[in-house]
Structure formats: structure tokens, C-alpha cells
Amino acid sequence: MTDWLGPEEWSAVMLSLKVALWATLGALVPGVFVAYALARWRFPGKQIINGLVHLPLILPPVATGYLLLISFGTQGIFGSLLAEAGIVFAFRWTGAALAAAVMAFPLLVRAVRMSIEATDPKLEQAAQTLGASKLWIFVTVTIPLILPGILAGAVLAFAKAMGEFGATITFVSNIPGQTQTLPSAIYSFLQVPGGENAALQLVGVSIFVAMTALLLSEYIGRRLAQWVSAS
Amino acid sequence: MSLSVSINQSIDAFSLNVKFDAPVGLTALFGPSGSGKTTLVNSVAGLSRGCVGRIAVDDWILQDSDLGIWLPPQKRQLGYVFQEGRLFPHLTVRQNLLFGQWFAKGRPPIVKFTDVVEMLGIGALLSRRPSLLSGGEKQRVAIGRALLAAPKLILADEPLAALDEARKGEIIPYFECLRDEINVPILYVSHSIAEVARLATTVVALNGGQLTQVGPAVDVLGDPKFIPVGVRAVGAVLDVTVVAHHSDGLTELDAAGSPLFIPQISQEPGRVMRVRIAAHDVILSCDEPKGLSALNILHGIIEAVRSGDGPGAIVSIRTPAGTVLARVTRRSSIALGLSEGVSCYAVIKTVAIAPQDAGG
């Protein structure tokens, strides 16, 4: 595969996989938590939280990228604080992962929230009468029951993170080897004469990765659903 | 051990207002739908908030508004058997059974795992998932799960309502077993008079969120004032012992010295059980009846005659076998001169004691 892809293409593919993986992992825990809160809790300002979560989905990605730049850039409010702690996002692959995570977050939350709403709260109630605290119920009842939903949300988030372009290029630019993800690389190849071949190769890789992820999740999802409900 | 409840609760326009004690044994919360039975049991479980008052099992206080105590459900040390079982679909039967036990670590168990499995006959199901169980099997596992949580109080909210008649008959003996074997009060919600008559030690009758009657089952069910779901449901409950099975297809029972005959049942001679005699299956006669086809005739003294707005009256007769209720028309009640203290005969048709009422 290394022979087939040029070094620049290869590094873009590897970077994208790394960025998408970290973005998905990073979004997972807060995503499940927010989904649970939105599905099961009642609290003031719930609609505002819901709106904020969905913002990256409805805002132009460039706008999200710009917001990330002014808040998480080296001069930004959070960025400057985090920089002191040694965490830098601007023009690094970590920034690309952050942008991808933010963009993928609403998709993850929606999928998980739907599966939480589909589980019967009466089972959680039953666990409570058997002596389980809220946290134990979440770990021993809720999480296992929504595993298929979490998986579906994670795959969706991973696919979104692989394809994220607008926010990423706005926030961390398009530096080969640093922040040039797969979509950025395709875009760059299309800007130079004779780059169509390389662009097409990367499109092929995108299709391959997306299809693999989808089929894998279908398979694991079916096994998980069986495990949750049957023998 | 004894459960004492004294609470007030208002939900929208509905208000629940109850005060009763439930001793060891099975206390049936009985009443028509909408009478507040489930609301009450969920208040005891701590699943619905906003109820004011005191709930305690002996000195174990679940709630005391005056003292500012309100334990969340997970701290109440309950065993709750729900109508729909509510088994965890992602866990095996064994894991379901052990779920409550795991959180009850450090408390002495009221029954051992092996005993529960044996009593409920679920040994062959332990490695299965709930989705592969029948309705009756699910309820048996649910009962086992509640027992293994080392509860100080067992709650059951219409645990048979989702089952067909055959399955009900399969589950009822387990509740009888709990009632008789386990030293923990059971609060059992039901709207079925047959279930209550068969299972209850104590009856708490509710209507519209208010208590209508509380007391030992035999007293409450034999009280003509106990008409919570219409006259047709009224009936007396008698404690009987199986004497013998006769070759003509009848079983002879002994009700405190008086013989009763019913169509043959499977219970062994010597077995103590209850029969229910519906008031509309009892005919009254002032003189000793002769030349009747009915086999069961009990002589007694009228305790009370109660009539409502309709044409019927309920007469309660104290007999050596226990109190029997009869439904007669007001016209015949006047014609026969039925009133308190009058001696009369209660004629019970043999077939009136249906096998499903003759609980084992």
C-alpha cells in the first residue's frame, strides 16, 4: 500500500485515521454523558444545552472552525490557558482532532440519546429497588443496554471525523504532515495541475475506510443487539 | 416484623390518605383501578416522591417527614416484584438473581441462593437469558431476585396480572410459600378478589385514595360492608382442612367441625387451605331445609343485614364454619324477617365452590 500511495498521500491517510480515532474517543465519554442528561434529566436551560450541542451540525463548518480558532488558538481564551499547561491545539494534529470531535459531537449525542430514550426506565427503577445507586445502575444496566447505540454513534462520529474539512482547515490550516488530513489533501491535490490521480486515489481510500467502518459496525451492532436481548 | 404506613400524598387532583399496619404475612392492597394501590406501593418503595408521613418496618425508618428522613429506593432494603417482571435482558437468570444480592452484601440473607433456586424450580434456567423464558418463568425469577436482595419488606404490584389463568395458578403457590415461610412482611397489590381471598393474611381496602377497611383477611372479606368492587365480588372466606377424597368425585372438607363437599381437588388429605364462597351462591332458609339437592348447609345466626340503593341485600351469617355471606333480594329479606340475631340456614350449592377458588 505504501508503494501504491505517495508519501504525502500516505501521511494524510495515517493522520486522518489518527485524528478521527482520537476525536471519536475524546467525544465518546462527554457525548454519552450529555446524551444521558438530555434524555433523562430535567434541568433549567436544557434547551440551550441541546441547541449548543447541535450548533456544529447547523452552523457553517467554517464558522465553527473560526470560533475554535479564536477560543482555542494560542491567543484564545482557552488556548492561552491550555498552552501554559503544555497543551497546544493551533496548527497541530491535536487541533484537527479537536475540530473533528466538535463537529462529530452532535451526531454521537443524537445516536446515543435515541438509544437511551428507547430503553425502558422501568428497568433502571427495578435496579434501584434492588439496591443499586445511580452510578451502578448506569454502569450495570444503562450502558450495556445502549451499547449498540453507542457503537452506532461512535461509527457515525468516526466517519464524520474522517471527512471533516471546513472547521479543520479554518482552525489548523492545511500543513502537509502536520494538519493535512485526507479531505485537505484531496483539496490540495485538486489545486495543482496533474494532481487528479492522487486525489482519486485518496477518494478511493476514503471509500474503503468508510465502507469498512460501516460494515464492521453493522456486524458488531447486530452481535451486540443479540447479546443485549437474547442468548 | 411489621410494616407501618401513615402517609398523605397529593398528585394533581388525586389524594392518597392512608394509615395502616401490616404484620408479617401477606397484606393485600385491594381496590378498583385508580384507587391508589400502585401509588401507595410506589410511595413505600420511594419511587414516587412528594408523599408526607411515616413509613417504617419495625424500627427501620424508610421515611419520616417529622424527622426529615427520606431514604432513596436503593437504601430501603426492598424486594420489589413488578407486574411485568422487569428482568434485565442483558443478564442471565443467574446474574439477574444475584443482582440484588450483590448490593445487599453485608446484610444477612433471608434465604440462600440454592434454596431459592430449588423452591422456585428455576435450576434449569440459570444460564438462560430472560427473553427465552415464559411469562410464568420470568415471574418466578423476579420473585427469586427480590428474595435474594435480603429485603426487610417485599412489595408486589399485581405480579400475576400479566399472566394467563394457567400461569397464575402456577405462580400463586410461590406467594403462599413466601407468606408462610418467610418472616418478612409482604405488601401485595391486587384487584382480584380471588387472589386476595387465597393469599391475604391482612386486607387493606382502598377506594379513591382513602382506606375503606383494614383488618385480618377472614374478617374483612366476611364483612358485608366490604363491597369495594360491586356486590358480585362479595364472598366469604373459610379456613378448611381436606378430610378425604370420595369415590363419587367429591372431596370432603372440614370447616371448623362442619363438613363441606366440593368437586374433587388434588390437595392431599390433612392439607389446610381456604375456600371462598361467593355471596350470590348462597341461599337462605329460615327452617331446616329438607329434600334439597344442595349438599352444603350451614346453620347460623344472622350478624348483619346490609342493603344499599339497589334491590339486593347482603346478609352475613355466623356459622360454626365461619362467617358466610349471602346475597338476597330486599323483598325476600323482609318476607323472611331476616334481621340481626335471627337463626337461619345457609344453603351452598356444591358446585358453588369452584376449584380455582379452593386455593391450595
pLDDT the model gives residue A221: 84
The model's pLDDT over B3-40, given as tens digits with 9 standing for 90+, comes to 999 999 888 888 889 999 998 899 999 988 888 898 99
> Best mutation site among A129, A136, A139 for testing chain B: the one with the most B CBs within 10 Å?
A129
> Is the full-model pTM beyond 0.90?
no
A93 within 8 A of A180, measured Cβ to Cβ: no
CA A48 from centroid of its chain's CA atoms: 21
Residue B226 lies in a domain: no
Domains: count for chain B? 2
In chain A, what residues touch B47 (CB-CB under 8 Å)?
125, 128-129
Which has the closest alpha carbon to B165: B145, B141, B135?
B135
Q: What is the CATH number of the domain that holds B27?
A: 3.40.50.300
Residue that terminates a domain, selected from B166, B197, B221 = B221
Which residues of A fall below an 8 Å CB-CB distance to B? 120, 122-123, 125-133, 136, 140-141, 144-145, 227-231
The DSSP secondary structure of B179-196, one letter per residue, reads HHH--SEEEEEE--HHHH
Chain A residue at shortest CA distance from B100 = A130
The model's pLDDT over A70-120, given as tens digits with 9 standing for 90+, comes to 999 888 888 888 888 888 888 899 999 999 999 999 999 999 999 999 999
Residue B18 lies in a domain: yes
Residue B275 lies in a domain: yes
Residue B171 lies in a domain: yes
- Residues B239, B217, single domain; the answer is no
Q: What is the spatial distance between Cα A120 and Cα B86, in angstroms, rounded to a whole number? A: 9
Residue that terminates a domain, selected from B160, B186, B221 = B221
- Residues B204, B298, single domain; the answer is no
pLDDT the model gives residue A151: 92
Burial class (CB in 10 A: 0-12, 13-18, 19+), A44: exposed
Cβ within 8 Å of residue B55, ≥6 positions away:
B3, B4, B5, B6, B7, B43, B44, B61, B62, B63, B64
Residue B228 lies in a domain: no
- Residues B252, B300, single domain; the answer is yes
- Does residue B231 carry a pLDDT above 50? no
- Residues B171, B42, single domain; the answer is yes
- Residues B171, B104, single domain; the answer is yes
Residue of B86, B129, B132 lying closest to A126 (CB–CB): B86
Residue of A122, A125, A130 lying closest to B100 (CB–CB): A130
Q: What is the spatial distance between Cα B72 and Cα A137, in angstroms, rounded to a whole number? A: 14
- Residues B249, B281, single domain; the answer is yes
- Residues B214, B240, single domain; the answer is no
Measured between CA atoms, how close is A84 to chain B, in angstroms?
44
Residue B330 sits in which domain range?
Answer: 235-359
- Residues B240, B99, single domain; the answer is no
Residue B16 lies in a domain: yes
The model's pLDDT over B90-100, given as tens digits with 9 standing for 90+, comes to 999 999 999 99
Residue that terminates a domain, selected from B165, B195, B221 = B221
- Residues B183, B326, single domain; the answer is no
pLDDT interval class at A134 (50, 70, 90): very high
pLDDT the model gives residue B303: 83
Residue B201 lies in a domain: yes
- Residues B217, B105, single domain; the answer is yes
ipTM of the complex: 0.81
- Residues B104, B151, single domain; the answer is yes
- Residues B185, B50, single domain; the answer is yes
Look at A123 and B88 and tell me if their CB atoms are within 8 Å.
yes
Residue B229 lies in a domain: no
